[in-house]
């Protein structure tokens, strides 16, 4: 049996995502640890972090996703004895994946993600930025769409390739509005604006990536304890933690190659892929790329049931 742990990114958050986690020993200890770290780094208090209003801020959303991912993975490994063979995270989900892989400490992950969120908000300060998904168009058509609607002042870039016909774009609100109008002409099944006030995984974030690389240069290099799959490269990263830390820094300025990640999960022979909370979107995306891998989402399935399912 070969198991992958999957960690969702921004867009999967929901109010109460931390307060509704099971009160297992590992989760309780992780939340207590997180509360202390958040206080030390001057972030939002844990009790308020997953409230609806607070989650509107990119920094808070990213911190909440890291905490949920680490807490859930620790519960599976410490409370239930589960062991992953691979880890992969979508966007900011790469940071809790790196914690499970042993490359980052929980403390380091929250510190760098707090910095990441603050810098991303600063780059997109004043509004006018966002993201949208083109459903039913391939990469070539979406690239054409982005080129058609982009101008010097209003640019649009491919940000996530989640499936061959599910591609997310980042850019200005004006460019996104143009794309919505033009997408149907190219044969899009649907256009969906995402509830995000930042433009992620695009050249706009290159200054953020450079600053993250500076910060992560001071993090100790640790060997991977679990194989880490890169959402930037769409493949497994081998060797010590240096390549993983570089990946964590620069992924914010480059598209998420999630379909390639899922294909690699299948190629590596994963029998099960377990999505950490919140949501089920990664589990739902998996079958097209890795039909032989069984997807399971902790949200909706429960921790005990998940462990029982993949032990069969």
User: Do residues 52 and 45 touch, judged by C-beta distance below 8 A?
Assistant: no
* H helical segments located in the chain: 25-41, 46-49, 58-74, 94-101, 106-123, 139-149, 173-183, 206-216, 241-250, 258-267, 281-289, 298-301, 303-311
Q: CA torsion sign, 285 to 290 to 294 to 298?
A: negative
pLDDT at res. 310: 66
Residue 137 to residue 192: CA distance in whole angstroms? 13
For residue 122, name the pLDDT band (cuts at 50, 70, 90): very high
Which CATH number applies to 3-123+203-311?
Answer: 3.40.366.10
The per-residue pLDDT for range 148-203, each reduced to its tens digit, is 999 999 999 999 999 999 999 999 999 999 999 999 889 999 999 998 899 999 99
pLDDT score at 312: 64
Tokens of 24: 């297992």
Task: Please provide the CATH number assigned to the domain covering 129-193.
Answer: 3.30.70.250
pLDDT in tens, 135-158: 999 999 999 999 999 999 999 999
Mean of the per-residue pLDDT values of the chain:
96
Active site residues: 91, 201
Residues 193 and 183: beta-carbon distance below 8 Å: no
The pLDDT tens digits of the residues spanning 3-17 come to 999 999 999 999 999
Q: What percent of the chain clears pLDDT 70, i.e. is strictly above it?
A: 99
Mean pLDDT of 44-57: 97
- Residue 295, beta-bridge partner list: 273
pTM: 0.97
For the stretch 235-252, pLDDT in tens is 999 988 899 999 999 999
Tell me whether residue 80 is exposed, middle or buried, using C-beta atoms within 10 angstroms of its C-beta: 0 to 12, 13 to 18, 19 or more: middle
Q: What is the arithmetic mean of pLDDT over 32-54?
A: 98
Residue whose entry in the numeric block shows the structure tokens 């958040």:
38
Domain boundaries, the chain: 3-123+203-311, 129-193
pLDDT for 307 beyond 80: no
Query: What is the rounded distance in angstroms from the CA atom of residue 267 to the CA atom of residue 148?
Result: 36
**Would you list the DSSP string of 251-286?**
GGGS-B-HHHHHHHHHHTT-SEEEEPSS-SHHHHHH
């Amino acid at each position: 049996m070969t198991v992958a742990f999957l960690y969702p990114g921004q867009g999967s958050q929901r109010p109460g995502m931390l307060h509704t986690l099971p009160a297992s020993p590992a989760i309780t200890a992780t939340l207590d640890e997180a509360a202390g770290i958040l206080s030390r780094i001057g972030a939002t208090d844990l009790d308020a972090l997953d409230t609806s209003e607070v989650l509107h801020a990119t920094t808070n959303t990213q911190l909440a996703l890291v905490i949920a991912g680490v807490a859930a993975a620790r519960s599976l490994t410490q409370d239930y004895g589960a062991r992953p063979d691979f880890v992969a995270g979508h966007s900011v989900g790469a940071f809790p994946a790196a914690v499970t892989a042993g490359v980052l400490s929980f403390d380091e992950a929250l510190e760098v993600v707090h910095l990441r969120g603050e810098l991303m908000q600063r780059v997109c300060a004043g509004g006018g930025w966002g993201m949208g998904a083109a459903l039913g168009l391939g990469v070539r058509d979406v690239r054409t769409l982005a080129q058609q609607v982009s101008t010097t002042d209003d640019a649009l870039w491919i940000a996530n390739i989640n499936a061959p016909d599910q591609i997310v774009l980042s850019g200005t609100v004006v460019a996104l509005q143009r794309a919505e109008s033009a997408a149907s002409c190219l044969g899009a099944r649907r256009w969906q604006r995402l509830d995000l006030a930042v433009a992620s995984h695009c050249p706009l974030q290159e200054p953020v990536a450079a600053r993250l690389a500076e910060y992560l240069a001071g993090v100790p290099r640790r060997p991977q304890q679990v194989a880490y799959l890169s959402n930037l490269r769409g493949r497994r990263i081998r060797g010590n933690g240096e390549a993983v830390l570089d990946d964590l820094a620069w992924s914010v300025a480059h598209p998420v190659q999630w379909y390639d990640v899922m294909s690699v999960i299948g190629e590596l022979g994963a029998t099960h892929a377990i999505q950490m909370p919140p949501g089920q979107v990664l589990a739902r995306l998996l079958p097209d790329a890795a039909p032989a891998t069984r997807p399971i989402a902790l949200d909706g399935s429960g921790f005990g049931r998940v462990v029982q399912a993949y032990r069969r």
